[in-house]
Amino acid sequence: MIPTPQGLYCPVGDFHIDPHGAVDRAIISHGHSDHARKVAKKYLAHKDSAGILRTRLGKGISLSTLEYGESLTLNGVRVTLFPAGHLLGSSQIRCEYKGNVTVFTGDFGTTKNDTCKPFQPVKCDTFIPESTFGLPLYEWTDPEIVYQEINDWWRQNRDKGLASVLYCYSLGKAQRILKALDTSIAPIIVHDSVDQMNDCYQNAGIDLPQTLTGWDREGKPADAGALEGLCFQIIPTGVDC
Ligand SMILES: [Zn+2]
């Protein structure tokens, strides 16, 4: 693997991983916008990423998919995907050539995540991890405690006659939080961009709570009546990662 202006490149296999410039073949670790860009003639990703990539990059992209543990050989390099525990379809990319193994993770998560397969350690000679929040200064509260705090806050707001609004990434974080919400509290409204990603999850067999859509794609209220309820609204932040 070597760095190039377009991103990480495997010269023997002749493919890039999560490229950010024009390339022939890209292997995509997951659907977040800092990893999946419309720059390649051909894409390879996990099959559960297909809906996300087609929604975000276009229905017409040339996309091949693999199951976890399934392999494809590209110019003698055996490529296999393993779960990264980050979001639906997120994959570590294992590349084997003449017995030497390199693993690229993309973003990965080792805490419990009910919306995707758990991270699976993969034996290798070279490990290339993404570590956006890898510095020791990042110490996160247990997600189960955060979910409890969100539900408690939502319930208290409802009792005061207030709607609750939460901002988060439309892909990954939104579905993880939706899965943890106590749906008995009040109706849930999501932005259209969250709704689109919810469809991808549900099409891949991940159950999510029933939601309403409050905005159209221009950001205008699509159902003013729904907004008057004591609801919980999830609105996307800008770029996800
Ligand atoms: Zn990511």
Looking at the DSSP assignment, which residues form a beta bridge with residue 27? 17, 44
* The Cα angle at residue 194 between residues 55 and 46, in degrees rounded to 5: 45
CA distance 9 to 1: 5
Q: How far is the CA of 111 from the centre of ligand 1 (A)?
A: 15
For residue 55, give the nearest of 199, 215, 176 by alpha carbon: 199
Backbone φ, ψ for residue 70 (5° rounding) = -85, 145
CA distance 47 to 28: 11
Question: CATH 3.60.15.10 region(s) of the chain?
Answer: 2-128
CA distance 81 to 191: 31
State the pLDDT confidence band at 104, using cuts at 50, 70 and 90. very high
Q: How far is the CA of 210 from the centre of ligand 1 (A)?
A: 25
Identify residue 205 by its one-letter amino acid code: G
Q: How far is the CA of 130 from the centre of ligand 1 (A)?
A: 9
Q: How far is the CA of 171 from the centre of ligand 1 (A)?
A: 9
Q: How far is the CA of 164 from the centre of ligand 1 (A)?
A: 26
Is pLDDT above 60 for 227?
Answer: no
Q: How far is the CA of 199 from the centre of ligand 1 (A)?
A: 19
Contact 233, 177 (CB under 8 A): no
What does pTM read for this prediction? Answer: 0.90
Is pLDDT above 80 for 38?
Answer: yes
Across residues 79-93, what is the average pLDDT? 98
Backbone φ, ψ for residue 155 (5° rounding) = -65, -45
CATH number of 2-128: 3.60.15.10
Is pLDDT above 80 for 61?
Answer: yes
Helices (H) then strands (E): counts for the chain = 5, 15
Is pLDDT above 90 for 241?
Answer: no
Q: How far is the CA of 241 from the centre of ligand 1 (A)?
A: 4
